[in-house]
Amino acid sequence: MRVLENGYTVKDLGIDSINCLANLHKTSFTRGWGAHDFALFLQDNKMKVLGAFSNGDKNPNAFLLVRCVADEAEVISIAVGRRHRRKGVAEGMLDVAIDTLYDKGIKELHLEVDETNKGAVQLYNQAGFEVVGERRAYYQGKKGEKASSALMMRLVLDEE
């Protein structure tokens, strides 16, 4: 558990959070994952599920899902409730995850992000991620819009 400078508390989430996680996901992404999906994630011992809580809230206001395989990890999803955005919550959760992953011996953290999701791209740039590849036309465009590319980003945690 860690208390961030902005007052939010970041801690590991348990199975009792699945409905809140599904709600947060639904309000943040076009194709929402359900409570069943989150139940599976929480039972997967390769998955790290962090939540951020504002003072006094018993339900998480944000989450970060990271999957570890061997000495690499991948950000599977991150979302912050609308009312809690631009307060450093995502940045704080990433910091906590990065420290924990480093302590576990993870050497690289990977992720994919839609190139048009400027806020998320900026978040990852600020956290030190670099673009290492691109999947052209990976995300289907909404009606009339052209498909956008996925940027593949990487943060090296341990140069060794």
Question: How does 90-127 read in b/e, with b if 16+ C-beta sit within 10 Å?
Answer: bebbbebbbebbeeeebeebbbbbebeeeebbebbeeb
8 A C-beta contact, residue 109 and residue 101: yes
The residue at minimum Cβ distance from ligand COA is: 119
The window from 12-20, 38-46, 79-87, 148-156 that contacts ligand COA (CB under 6 A) reads 79-87
Query: How many residues lie near ligand COA (CB under 6 A)?
Result: 19
Element (H, E) at 139: strand 130-139
Near ligand COA by CB under 6 A: residue from 32, 34, 105, 119: 119
The window from 7-15, 36-44, 81-89, 140-148 that contacts ligand COA (CB under 6 A) reads 81-89
Near ligand COA by CB under 6 A: residue from 13, 33, 38, 87: 87
In the three-class reduction of DSSP (H, G, I as helix; E, B as strand; rest coil), residue 25 is classed as helix
Near ligand COA by CB under 6 A: residue from 22, 42, 49, 78: 78
Near ligand COA by CB under 6 A: residue from 10, 50, 73, 120: 120
- Using the structure block, give the residue that is written with the tokens 């400078």: 5
Quote the least distance from Cβ 86 to ligand COA, whole Å: 5
Distance between CA 147 and CA 114 in Å, rounded?
10
Distance between CA 21 and CA 37 in Å, rounded?
10
Beta bridge partners of 66: 48, 75
Beta carbon nearer to ligand COA, 86 or 142? 86
Establish if 80 lies at the interface with ligand COA (CB under 6 A): yes
Give the footprint of ligand COA on this chain (CB under 6 A).
28, 78-80, 85-91, 113, 117-120, 122-123, 126
